[in-house]
């Protein structure tokens, strides 16, 4: 049984309910809100066009993120002229330069910006799994479906991404803070 | 090492900072197609298309067979092209081969008829160099423009100068290919002809090749549409969709080339060069200070020339005298002692 058997209004409601998580996931992947909006729009249009192929139940969520991630890759390839698997280094550098420093951010309490910059520094192959794992809440198996990689690959990428983020000096104060609050 | 819970909290904080566009989902759903089953529409449309193509293919095969049996004077190139496609699609062995082959054969049969009745595709060009006068330049250009309009053509480019040191220029006239020779004959009467060159380029093979490539791409797009309807996995759907976009861009590129080529075949271009001969340079009488200066320089030069001439003559005379004197003295010295001895 798939979504083709359901009524259109139900599908519309389902898509509306998943728009915000999909949009924010795309924002974290691309680090570009405009690009994220376009990518999610394209992803939802694709889902609408191919709704007959849409799986039902729990399988719908990884399918949704798969379409969103693919749209993000397409957008990046089109806009940045790279293979879509890597954010342009220049863009990341400019982002890091224009973003406030850790001390400044700590003063105003904007941890979100620091995390975004730290994520943007990660290679895209590592950034996508960690966003899907810790923001979208997908399991390793679901991430493997979403990015079309083996679960073992996903596991190693998640481990590497966690290691790099833990070693990131800009995030260490937050880790201590979290530890301190526990 | 940051723990899982901390990562989750940090990423939710980072993601939650992005304001979600409130109009987003509604815009997407309103932009989406009407609530009909997309994949089913594709399949249904193609069933009808397959039936139509099958019908056309049967008729085309019959027509082609009749043409091949009754006429041996058809274009061998076109027959070869059709058979090449027939062989290729027969070897392909897929479910669509019959209908695709039918459509191809049908199209190439049509092309063969067109080629036979309308002849070859030729791009004709020419360059006509005319000699005119400064006074007649404007009139000649007007006559050429009017002549182009009379033949159903137009001036596509012009670069003319009526004044300045080099009056004249070039205009490019495009006229229907069928009237090209008549137009040249009339244009030659406008002014004195310095030279005329024409050239014909046969682009029939190029036209046929573009047509064949377009046909193949259109069929490929049709097959991809079938695959779109049959694919179940989203990865397949996305890759096929990308392929359809690529094929569509190729189709549009070829159609653009066809339009350009057709325009060049339909309208022949004659580049008319209008030249005004430059009058010979005549220097007028000079007056005033300049005149005096030139006179003085000329007088000085003439004086030096006269001096060199006189001194040259004088020097020659002196040198000649010295040579003669030396010879005489030598002879005197050698002969006079013997003469003295005899006398003594």
What CATH number has the domain bearing residue A80? 1.20.140.160
Residue of B nearest to A60 (CA): B234
Contacts of A112 in chain B (CB under 8 A): 13-14, 16-17
Rounded average pLDDT over B60-79? 45
Contact status of A112 with chain B (Cβ, < 8 Å) = yes
pLDDT on residue B281: 53
Q: Using the beta-carbon criterion (under 8 Å), do B13 and A115 form an inter-chain contact?
A: yes
Rounded average pLDDT over B217-228? 84
pLDDT on residue B176: 92
Q: Which residues contact B250 (CB under 8 A, 6 or more apart)?
A: B217
Q: How far is CA A23 from the centre of its chain?
A: 9
Q: Are the beta carbons of A20 and B20 closer than 8 angstroms?
A: yes
Q: Chain B residues within 8 A (CB-CB) of chain A?
A: 1-18, 20-21, 24-29, 31-33, 35, 37-40, 231-235, 237-238, 241
pLDDT on residue B88: 34
Instruction: State yes or no: pLDDT of B91 exceeds 60.
Output: no
**Confidence tier at B45 by pLDDT (50, 70, 90):** very low
Q: Using the beta-carbon criterion (under 8 Å), do B237 and A53 form an inter-chain contact?
A: yes
**Confidence tier at B83 by pLDDT (50, 70, 90):** very low
Q: Crossing angle, helix A140-147 and helix A60-80, to 10 degrees?
A: 50
Contacts of A19 in chain B (CB under 8 A): 20, 24-25, 28
Label residue B169 exposed, middle or buried (CB < 10 Å: 0-12, 13-18, 19+): middle
Q: CA–CA distance from B337 to each of A162, B131, B214, B324, B327 (Å)? A: 134, 90, 121, 21, 17
- Cα A114 to Cα A135: distance, rounded to the nearest angstrom: 16
- CA within 13 Å, CB half, B30: 5
For residue range B233-274, list pLDDT tens digits in order.
777 777 788 888 888 888 988 898 888 888 889 999 999 988
Q: Is A46 helix (H, G, I), strand (E, B) or coil?
A: helix
The better pLDDT of the pair B328, B87 is held by B328
Residue of B nearest to A165 (CA): B2
Instruction: State yes or no: pLDDT of B77 exceeds 50.
Output: no
> Please, what's the largest Cα pairwise distance for chain B?
158
Instruction: State yes or no: pLDDT of B228 exceeds 50.
Output: yes
ipTM above 0.90, yes or no: no
Contacts of A29 in chain B (CB under 8 A): none
For residue range B123-141, list pLDDT tens digits in order.
999 999 898 888 888 888 8
Contacts of B37 in chain A (CB under 8 A): 4, 51-52
pLDDT on residue B336: 84
Rounded average pLDDT over B41-46? 36
Contacts of A28 in chain B (CB under 8 A): 11, 14-15
pLDDT on residue B291: 77
**Confidence tier at A129 by pLDDT (50, 70, 90):** very high
Q: Using the beta-carbon criterion (under 8 Å), do A178 and B31 form an inter-chain contact?
A: no
Overall domain count for chain A: 1
Q: Using the beta-carbon criterion (under 8 Å), do A19 and B40 form an inter-chain contact?
A: no
Q: Which residues contact A14 (CB under 8 A, 6 or more apart)?
A: A3, A60
pLDDT on residue B270: 92
How much of chain B exceeds pLDDT 70, in percent? 70
pLDDT on residue B112: 31
- Cα B153 to Cα B173: distance, rounded to the nearest angstrom: 7
Range of the domain at A11: 3-181
For residue range A44-59, list pLDDT tens digits in order.
888 887 777 778 777 8
Put simply, the chain A residues between 44 and 83 with a CB less than 8 A from any chain B CB are: 44-46, 48-53, 63, 66-67, 70
Contacts of A174 in chain B (CB under 8 A): 2, 6, 10
Q: CA–CA distance from A49 to each of A35, A43, B41, B89 (Å)? A: 21, 10, 10, 31
Instruction: State yes or no: pLDDT of B321 exceeds 90.
Output: yes
pLDDT on residue B54: 52
For residue range B269-301, list pLDDT tens digits in order.
999 988 887 665 555 555 677 778 888 888 898
Least confident of A1-10, A54-63, B11-20: A1-10
Contact status of A14 with chain B (Cβ, < 8 Å) = no
pLDDT on residue B245: 83
Angstroms from A148 CA to nearest CA on chain B: 9
Q: Using the beta-carbon criterion (under 8 Å), do B28 and A15 form an inter-chain contact?
A: yes
pLDDT on residue A81: 65
Q: Are the beta carbons of A4 and B37 closer than 8 angstroms?
A: yes
Counting one residue from A and one from B, how many pairs have CB atoms under 8 Å apart?
128
H-type alpha helices, B167-287 = 180-187, 204-230, 234-266
The better pLDDT of the pair B32, B326 is held by B326
Q: Using the beta-carbon criterion (under 8 Å), do B234 and A50 form an inter-chain contact?
A: yes
Q: Is B335 helix (H, G, I), strand (E, B) or coil?
A: helix
How much of chain A exceeds pLDDT 70, in percent? 74
Q: How far apart are the first and last CA of chain A?
A: 45
pLDDT on residue A103: 52
């Amino acid at each position: 049984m798939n979504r083709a058997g359901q009524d259109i209004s139900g599908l519309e409601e389902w898509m509306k309910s998943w728009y915000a998580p999909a949009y924010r996931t795309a924002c974290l992947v691309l680090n570009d809100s405009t690009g994220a909006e376009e990518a999610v729009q394209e992803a939802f249009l694709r889902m609408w066009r191919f709704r007959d192929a849409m799986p039902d139940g729990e399988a719908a969520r990884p399918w949704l993120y798969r379409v969103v991630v693919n749209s993000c890759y397409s957008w990046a390839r089109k806009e940045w002229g790279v293979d879509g698997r890597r954010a342009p280094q220049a863009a990341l550098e400019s982002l890091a330069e224009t973003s406030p420093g850790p001390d400044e951010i700590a003063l105003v309490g904007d941890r979100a910006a620091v995390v975004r910059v730290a994520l943007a520094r990660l290679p895209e192959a590592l950034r996508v799994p960690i966003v899907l794992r810790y923001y979208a809440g997908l399991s390793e198996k679901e991430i493997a479906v979403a990015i079309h990689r083996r679960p073992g690959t996903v596991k190693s990428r998640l481990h590497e991404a966690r290691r790099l983020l833990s070693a990131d000096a800009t995030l260490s104060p937050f880790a201590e803070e979290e530890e301190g609050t526990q | 090492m940051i723990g899982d819970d901390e990562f989750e909290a940090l990423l939710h904080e980072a993601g939650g900072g992005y304001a979600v566009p409130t109009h987003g989902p509604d815009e997407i759903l309103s932009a989406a197609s009407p609530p009909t089953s997309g994949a089913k529409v594709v399949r249904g449309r193609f069933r009808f298309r397959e039936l139509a193509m099958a019908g056309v293919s049967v008729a085309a095969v019959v027509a082609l067979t009749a043409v091949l049996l009754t006429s041996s004077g058809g274009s061998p190139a076109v027959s070869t092209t059709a058979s090449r496609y027939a062989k290729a699609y027969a070897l392909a062995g897929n479910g669509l081969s019959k209908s695709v082959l039918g459509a191809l054969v049908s199209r190439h049969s049509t092309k063969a008829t067109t080629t036979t009745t309308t002849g070859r595709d030729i791009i004709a060009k020419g360059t006509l160099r005319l000699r005119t006068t400064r006074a007649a330049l404007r009139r000649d250009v007007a006559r050429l423009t009017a002549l182009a309009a009379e033949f159903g053509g137009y001036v596509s480019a012009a670069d003319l100068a009526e004044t300045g040191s080099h009056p004249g220029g070039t205009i490019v006239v495009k006229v229907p290919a069928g009237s090209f020779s008549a137009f040249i004959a009339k244009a030659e009467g406008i002014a004195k002809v310095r030279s005329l060159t024409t050239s014909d380029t046969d682009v029939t093979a190029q036209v046929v090749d573009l047509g064949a490539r377009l046909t193949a791409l259109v069929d490929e797009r049709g097959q991809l549409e079938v695959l779109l309807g049959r694919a179940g996995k989203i990865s397949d759907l996305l890759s096929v969709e990308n392929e359809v976009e690529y094929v569509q861009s190729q189709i549009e590129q070829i159609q653009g080339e066809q339009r350009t080529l057709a325009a060049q075949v339909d309208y022949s271009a004659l580049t008319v060069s209008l030249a005004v001969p430059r009058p010979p340079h005549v220097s007028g009488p000079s007056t005033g200070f300049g005149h005096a200066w030139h006179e003085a320089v000329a007088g000085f030069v003439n004086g030096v020339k006269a001096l060199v001439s006189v001194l040259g003559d004088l020097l020659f005379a002196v040198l000649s005298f010295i040579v003669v004197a030396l010879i005489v003295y030598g002879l005197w010295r050698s002969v006079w002692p013997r003469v003295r001895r005899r006398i003594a």
